[in-house]
Amino acid sequence: MSKGSPTKGRIANGAIVERELPFEMSHMETVKVSLRNPDFTTARRIAQAINSYLGTEVARPSDPGSVQLVVPPHYRGNVVSLLTDVEQLRVEPDHAAKVVIDQATGTIVMGENVRISTVAIAQGALTIRITETPQVSQPSPFSTTGTTTTVPRTDIEVDEGKPANMKVVPHEVTLQELVNGLNSLGVTPRDLIAILQTIKAAGALQADIEVM
């Protein structure tokens, strides 16, 4: 007896080669550099870095995911050296503004590009504590009546905490200013998650929220 498809499998990062295509890199006149994470700003920065290194305008971004590179005359027949020199260039990619939240552990990670529009935040807490302290009731010594019983004693305590003050977050604050402002409210990581999600729902958080 067999279950599933025993003749079918998956190779991680694999591919199927149906027919080998003729390819000779040394005679290439143009090279297309593909970005793993397409982005307009990153593609332009790559083109600018290549042009600055080669001293001529040979690279241009054709779309967010690729940069078209014309092989310079002194690299003709030696495209491998050109790609070797290009891949050594340092380019700072453009990072999207994102807030990553792990609700299971209460972990919050925010990128430096996160911005907050003008918004007012109020954070308050209401804590109710119910404590059960059972006591034992026994009859008098040498008494022939009564039995030992447990009498419940319930204590209810309500703590409204400090009055919640409305804090106004100014327009286009930085990440450090945002964290300092939220810490001034005395928020916990759980409260911070709820505040960020509420700010996003209000349209004041200029970033994407990713909940793990």
pLDDT computed for residue 6 by the predictor = 62
Q: How many other CB atoms are found less than 10 A from the CB of residue 207?
A: 19
Domain segments of the chain as ranges: 25-87, 98-136+165-211
Q: What is the mean pLDDT of the chain?
A: 76
Residues in the chain where the model's pLDDT stays below 50:
126, 128
Q: Per the confidence metrics, is the pTM higher than 0.85?
A: no
Rounded CA separation 123/182 (Å): 9
Q: Which of 68, 86, 84, 79 is nearest to 27 (CA)?
A: 79
Quick one: tokens of 199?
Answer: 């700010």
CA–CA dist 156, 54 (Å, integer): 76
211 Cα distance to chain centroid: 8
Cα-Cα end-to-end distance for the chain: 40
